[in-house]
A and B are shown apart, each in its own frame.
Chain A
Amino acid sequence: MLCSHCYISNISLKIKIMSDIQSNERIRSKVILLSKKEANFAKKEIRRSKMTAFFMVTPLLVFLLFAFVAPIGTMLHRGFYSPVVASLIPDTLDKLNQWSGEGIPNDDVLTSLAIDFKRLANERQSGKIAAALNRNMPGASSVVKSTARKMRRVDDAELKANGAELLLNAHEKWSNTKIWFALRKAGETYSDTHYLKALDLERNSLGELQVREASQIYIQLYSKTLKLALYITLACLIIGYPLAFYLANAPAKTANLLMIFVLLPFWTSLLVRTTSWIALLQTNGVVNSFLMSIGVTSSPLEMLYTEFSTIIAMTHILLPFMILPLYSVMKGIDPSYFRAALSMGARPISAFLKVYLPNTLPGLSAGALLVFIISVGYYITPALVGGTDGQMISNIIAFHMQQSNNWGLAAALGTLLLLLILSLYWLYDRFVGASNIKLG
């Protein structure tokens, strides 16, 4: 048997708990017989062993707090924290915050902003404001850039005297209150904008929540990610269940040999497996050449860079996570139950549904939850074989981290994904037990 040692089924866990309770009672009845001194000594001994156990775990806990928990905490914080604009034009923002919101702000604010624009243009920093403002108000980027360019040419004294007028003449949009709301919003060091955006929401000028007007893509993206994860989980279940059943009921020698077919993919690099799917599915790839040579199709099918290729490659990659827990649960089911049901006149199908299937539920839920959890957060395979319509939430987070440099939004999207995963993990821990995750 290749993998008997890790998985503790729920049943044996329950038996363990029962025996723990019994042994506790035994201890309690003994304690009564102990003298006070002895009882104190025993107490001290338990406390000492508690401390020893805790000190063994402490180095790892400290290490993980620094190297794992703190980075994730920073990311959560990043979703709220956007210091860029606030640090670039602090004076203007101070004045802008006095603005009532009716009409355009007074000349003082306008002049201050004009002076800031000249300074930023000289420091080559105006692009940062342009990008930040553009996220709150699409199209604002070009307004900022062209204004900054114009202000750069004006000399300081002139700017001080006539800044407000110059700014209004530089671009017509500065006479619109909308851009000033957007600027004030972008200037907040802490804001919920990113989180709202990740949920396709925004605040209107009165501060009320509403569905985002510009575009609603993220809710759709989350539901698409969940949909793909569900398809992958179902595919793993449908093709994994019969194989696990077959392996669990085959003679030990055959099962051991065939288990290699499951474990070798498990140990093979993820990138190798993704590479092989690219080789198989591409336009001139193995599958297309084969289909064309046997005459199924005359022109190559477009299979790579689609949702289909993401699903099939990820099913292949995650299948062992489904088969291994199913196999070890099925291994422990006595085949005579099934035969007993048959001998009492049940048809094979109803015997399977009513007797066998319920017995495999622990392994089934463990495998399905694990596959679902892993596939919801997957990045590499969709990035390489997914094309545009096979992208999942992780890919969009990576896009905002690396290409659009909208780290706040990436952090907010990541936080929502983390919440989703943690609630699934909590379910897993409840029904399966985190310590029962099994490895080959």
Chain B
Amino acid sequence: MKKQKFPAYYSIWHKLGHYGLQYSANLVLAFLILPILVIIPLSFNVEPYFTFTEGMVTFDPDAYSLRWYEGMINDPNWRLAIKNSLIIGVFATLIATILGTMAAVGLSSKNMPYKRLVMALLLSPMIVPLIIIAAGMFFFYAKFGLAGNYAGLIIAHAVLGIPFVIITVTATLTSFDRSLYFAGLSMGASPLKSFFDIVVPMIRPGVISGAMFAFVTSFDEVVVVLFLAGPGQRTIPRQMFSGLREQINPTILAVATVLIAIAVMFLITLELLRRRSDRLRGLDEHA
């Protein structure tokens, strides 16, 4: 560690406080990340346990294997779950993104009536506990034939993703300079052309990150699936949930490791998007 230089007026307590802060911050960072990292080596365990075997600690190659990954790929239940998660996620994201982006554009207008009330309503699916949403949908969707099929789950997950699209797109729009749109109009572009050629490219990073949030929300959701899905619509989290409740099996750890890898990819993509958005808006990279 580099030796710290303190200002002359720092007392001994102040210096102690400084180091105390540094160590406690590092401890919290470890608390945040270690539980996630610990999954990864465990998923290569050759034994069917959730713990480190002696062989794993001494780095014996025989203690490691890919059998749980093979198990995941060869199990028809997991394959179906992966397919279902993708189908439901993609369609729910499409609905949430299209409706959410339109609404966010409307909401960002200065002249939107009842703005605060509408905003609170549109964001409430994020706040209302999932169990209440799921129970309500269980009663209501069955009447319309939306229980036990893809359509119901797609609609339900679109509802859950909408607040995220609204938040990210609104955030991009607050810094969007509306005069650019009017400049397009003044040069003879039709409102639609001006919207699609000027506004859409500017807010695209916000739309994409909103879509990613919506997709992850659907991809990670299990409560609504527990209530609305039939046996043919089991998703990855649903499969993990029953796996954790019934027979704990390291295949879940293999799936978890794959999901961690996906999370890392999403994190990188979002960061790149954010940089691009800042560049488009002319913000300084290192502001």
A21 CB, min distance to chain B CBs, angstroms: 13
B98 CB, min distance to chain A CBs, angstroms: 9
Q: A68 on the interface (CB 8 Å rule)?
A: yes
Q: A376 on the interface (CB 8 Å rule)?
A: yes
Q: Are A265 and B167 in contact (CB under 8 A)?
A: no
Q: Are B123 and A74 in contact (CB under 8 A)?
A: no
A103 CB, min distance to chain B CBs, angstroms: 40
Interface segment among A57-65, A112-120, A208-216: the answer is A57-65
Q: Chain B residues near A261 (CB, 8 Å)?
A: 29, 32-33
Q: Chain A residues near B274 (CB, 8 Å)?
A: 2, 5
Within 8 A of B (CB), among A254-283: 258, 260-265, 267-280, 282
Q: B21 on the interface (CB 8 Å rule)?
A: yes
On chain A, the number of residues with a Cβ less than 8 Å from chain B's Cβ atoms is 98
In the complex, which residue of chain A has the Cβ closest to the Cβ of B22? A246
Q: Digit string of A323-353 for contact with B (CB within 8 Å is 1, else 0)?
A: 0000000000000000000110000100000
Q: Are B129 and A378 in contact (CB under 8 A)?
A: yes
Q: Are B135 and A414 in contact (CB under 8 A)?
A: yes
B17 CB, min distance to chain A CBs, angstroms: 6
Q: Chain B residues near A282 (CB, 8 Å)?
A: 50-51
Q: Chain A residues near B107 (CB, 8 Å)?
A: 53, 56-57
Q: How far is the CA of A344 from the CA of B29 in the complex (A)?
A: 34
Q: Chain B residues near A240 (CB, 8 Å)?
A: 28
Interface segment among A87-95, A144-152, A193-201, A432-440: the answer is A432-440
Q: Digit string of B233-269 for contact with A (CB within 8 Å is 1, else 0)?
A: 0000100110011001000110010011001101100
Q: Are B139 and A74 in contact (CB under 8 A)?
A: yes
> A53-B106, A239-B31, A242-B25 are known contacts. Are A275 and B260 too (CB-CB below 8 A)?
no
Q: Are A258 and B123 in contact (CB under 8 A)?
A: no
**CB-contact partner of B132 in A280, A286, A320, A377, under 8 A:** A377
Q: Are A273 and B36 in contact (CB under 8 A)?
A: yes
Q: B119 on the interface (CB 8 Å rule)?
A: yes
Q: Chain B residues near A59 (CB, 8 Å)?
A: 99, 102-103
Q: Chain A residues near B245 (CB, 8 Å)?
A: 383-384
Interface segment among B58-66, B67-75, B220-228: the answer is B220-228
Q: How far is the CA of A272 from the CA of B102 in the complex (A)?
A: 33
Q: Are A269 and B219 in contact (CB under 8 A)?
A: yes
Q: A401 on the interface (CB 8 Å rule)?
A: yes
A221 CB, min distance to chain B CBs, angstroms: 14
Inter-chain CB contacts under 8 Å: number? 289
Q: How far is the CA of A243 from the CA of B95 in the complex (A)?
A: 38
Q: Chain B residues near A267 (CB, 8 Å)?
A: 216, 263-264, 266-267
Q: B39 on the interface (CB 8 Å rule)?
A: yes
Interface segment among A44-52, A131-139, A182-190, A360-368: the answer is A44-52
Q: Chain B residues near A314 (CB, 8 Å)?
A: none
A321 CB, min distance to chain B CBs, angstroms: 11
Q: Are A384 and B137 in contact (CB under 8 A)?
A: no
In the complex, which residue of chain B has the Cβ closest to the Cβ of A280? B35
Q: Chain B residues near A275 (CB, 8 Å)?
A: 39, 240, 244, 252-253, 256
Q: B118 on the interface (CB 8 Å rule)?
A: yes
**CB-contact partner of B28 in A243, A269, A272, A384, under 8 A:** A243
Q: B1 on the interface (CB 8 Å rule)?
A: no
B267 CB, min distance to chain A CBs, angstroms: 5
Q: Are B119 and A418 in contact (CB under 8 A)?
A: no
Q: A154 on the interface (CB 8 Å rule)?
A: no
Q: Are A268 and B259 in contact (CB under 8 A)?
A: yes
Q: Are A271 and B32 in contact (CB under 8 A)?
A: no
In the complex, which residue of chain A has the Cβ closest to the Cβ of B109? A53
**CB-contact partner of A279 in B24, B42, B175, under 8 A:** B42
Q: Are A57 and B103 in contact (CB under 8 A)?
A: yes
**Secondary structure of the A side of the interface?**
helix
Q: B131 on the interface (CB 8 Å rule)?
A: yes
Q: Chain A residues near B128 (CB, 8 Å)?
A: 72, 377, 418, 421
Q: How far is the CA of A68 from the CA of B123 in the complex (A)?
A: 11
Q: A181 on the interface (CB 8 Å rule)?
A: no
**CB-contact partner of B36 in A264, A320, A414, A425, under 8 A:** A264
**CB-contact partner of B267 in A61, A68, A260, A373, under 8 A:** A260
Q: Chain B residues near A61 (CB, 8 Å)?
A: 103, 118, 121-122
**CB-contact partner of A46 in B31, B103, B111, B138, under 8 A:** B111
In the complex, which residue of chain A has the Cβ closest to the Cβ of B138? A401
Q: Chain A residues near B91 (CB, 8 Å)?
A: none
Q: How far is the CA of A265 from the CA of B17 in the complex (A)?
A: 28
> A397-B131, A407-B139 are known contacts. Are A342 and B9 too (CB-CB below 8 A)?
yes
Q: A291 on the interface (CB 8 Å rule)?
A: no
Q: Are A247 and B130 in contact (CB under 8 A)?
A: no
In the complex, which residue of chain A has the Cβ closest to the Cβ of B107? A57
B71 CB, min distance to chain A CBs, angstroms: 16
Q: B286 on the interface (CB 8 Å rule)?
A: yes
Q: A18 on the interface (CB 8 Å rule)?
A: no
In the complex, which residue of chain B has the Cβ closest to the Cβ of A69? B121
Q: How far is the CA of A397 from the CA of B163 in the complex (A)?
A: 25
Q: A55 on the interface (CB 8 Å rule)?
A: yes
Q: How far is the CA of A401 from the CA of B136 in the complex (A)?
A: 11
Q: Chain B residues near A316 (CB, 8 Å)?
A: 31-32, 35
In the complex, which residue of chain A has the Cβ closest to the Cβ of B103? A60
Q: A252 on the interface (CB 8 Å rule)?
A: yes
> A2-B271, A52-B106, A64-B122 are known contacts. Are A377 and B14 too (CB-CB below 8 A)?
no
Starting from the known contacts A6-B168, A56-B109, 11 additional A-B residue pairs (CB-CB under 8 Å) come to A54-B112, A72-B128, A245-B25, A271-B241, A272-B260, A273-B35, A279-B38, A279-B51, A380-B223, A421-B129, A429-B116
Could you write out 17 A-B pairs with CB less than 8 Å apart? A5-B277, A53-B109, A53-B112, A63-B159, A64-B121, A68-B133, A71-B133, A74-B136, A75-B136, A243-B28, A276-B35, A319-B31, A348-B14, A376-B129, A377-B131, A398-B226, A425-B124
Chain B: residues with CB nearer than 8 A to chain A?
A: 9, 11, 13-14, 17, 21-22, 24-25, 28-29, 31-33, 35-36, 38-39, 42, 49-52, 95, 99-100, 102-103, 105-107, 109-113, 116, 118-133, 135-141, 155-156, 158-159, 162-164, 167-168, 170-171, 174-175, 213, 216, 219-220, 222-223, 226-227, 237, 240-241, 244-245, 248, 252-253, 256, 259-260, 263-264, 266-267, 270-271, 274, 277-278, 286-287
The 9 closest A-B pairs by CB, nearest first: A377-B129, A56-B106, A71-B136, A246-B25, A71-B140, A53-B109, A75-B136, A60-B103, A57-B106
